[in-house]
Structure 1
Amino acid sequence: MSDLARLLTRADDWLAGPGGILLMTDYDGTLTPIVDDPADAVLATRTREDLARLARSPRAGVAVISGRGLEDLRARVALDDVIYAGCHGLEIEGPNLAFRHPDALAQQAMVWAVGDVLVRRAPSVRGMRVEPKGLAVAVHYRHVAADEIRRVEIELARAISEQGGRLKIFHGSKVIEVLPQVAWTKGECAQWIQERLRARVPEPALWLYLGDDWTDEHAFEVLSGRALTIRVGDAVPASKAAYRLHDVSEVHQLLALLADGVTAESRA
Structure 2
Amino acid sequence: MSAVAYTSPEGLAEAVARAASARHLLIALDFDGTLAPLVDEPMSARMLPAARDALERLAHAPATTVALVSGRTLEHLAEISEREPDSRIHLAGSHGAEFWHPGAESAQDSDSDVSLRDELTARAEQIIGGLDGAWIEHKRFGFALHTRLADREQAAEAATRIDDLVRTEAPAWRRRTGQDILEFASRHEGKDSAVRSLRDRVGADVVLFAGDDVTDEDALASLEPGDVGIRVGGGETVAQYRVADAAALAVLLGRLAEARAGE
TM class, shorter-length: 0.7 to 0.9
Unmatched segments (≥5 aa) in structure 1: none
Matches within 5 A, 1:248-259: 248-259=246-257
Unmatched segments (≥5 aa) in structure 2: 1-5
Matches within 5 A, 1:34-49: 34-49=38-53
Q: Give 3-state SS (helix, strand or coil) of 2:256's partner.
A: helix
RMSD: 2.6
Identical-pair percentage: 25
Aligned 8 A contact 1:25 1:63 in 2: yes
Of residues 128, 136, 140, the one that matches 1:134 is 140
Task: Tell me how far 1:243 sits from its aligned partner.
Answer: 1.6
Matches of 2:240 and 2:198, distance apart in 1:
21
Match of 1:186 in 2: 191
Match of 1:207 in 2: 207
Matches of 1:25 and 1:261, distance apart in 2:
18
Task: Tell me how far 1:167 sits from its aligned partner.
Answer: 1.9
1:115 aligns with 2:121: yes
Task: Tell me how far 1:72 sits from its aligned partner.
Answer: 1.1
* Equivalent AA in structure 2 for residue 252 of structure 1: A
Match of 1:56 in 2: 60
Task: Tell me how far 1:264 sits from its aligned partner.
Answer: 4.9
The one-character-per-residue Cα deviations of 1:24-58 (angstroms, maximum 9, x if unpaired) are: 11111211222333234221222212211211233
Matches within 5 A, 1:32-181: 32-79=36-83, 80-95=87-102, 96=104, 98-100=106-108, 105-157=111-163, 159-160=165-166, 163-180=169-186
Aligned 8 A contact 1:73 1:84 in 2: yes
* Equivalent AA in structure 2 for residue 220 of structure 1: L
- Say if 1:98 and 1:3 are closer, same or farther in 2 by CA, change over 3 A: farther
Q: Give 3-state SS (helix, strand or coil) of 1:138's partner.
A: strand
Task: Tell me how far 1:111 sits from its aligned partner.
Answer: 2.3
Aligned 8 A contact 1:230 1:242 in 2: yes
Of residues 16, 24, 30, the one that matches 2:34 is 30
* Equivalent AA in structure 2 for residue 89 of structure 1: G
The one-character-per-residue Cα deviations of 1:70-115 (angstroms, maximum 9, x if unpaired) are: 111111222421111112222121123643467xx33344223312
Could you state the TM-score of these two structures normalised by the residue count of structure 1?
Answer: 0.82
Aligned 8 A contact 2:117 2:143 in 1: yes
Aligned 8 A contact 1:3 1:245 in 2: no
Aligned 8 A contact 2:19 2:228 in 1: no
Matches within 5 A, 1:214-225: 214-225=214-225
- Say if 1:161 and 1:214 are closer, same or farther in 2 by CA, change over 3 A: closer
Match of 1:233 in 2: 233
More helix by share: 1
Aligned 8 A contact 2:141 2:187 in 1: no
Could you state the TM-score of these two structures normalised by the residue count of structure 2?
Answer: 0.84
Higher relative contact order (CA closer than 8 Å, sequence separation 6+): 2
Task: Tell me how far 1:59 sits from its aligned partner.
Answer: 2.3
Q: Give 3-state SS (helix, strand or coil) of 1:124's partner.
A: coil
- Say if 1:64 and 1:251 are closer, same or farther in 2 by CA, change over 3 A: same
Task: Tell me how far 1:64 sits from its aligned partner.
Answer: 0.8
- Say if 1:258 and 1:127 are closer, same or farther in 2 by CA, change over 3 A: same
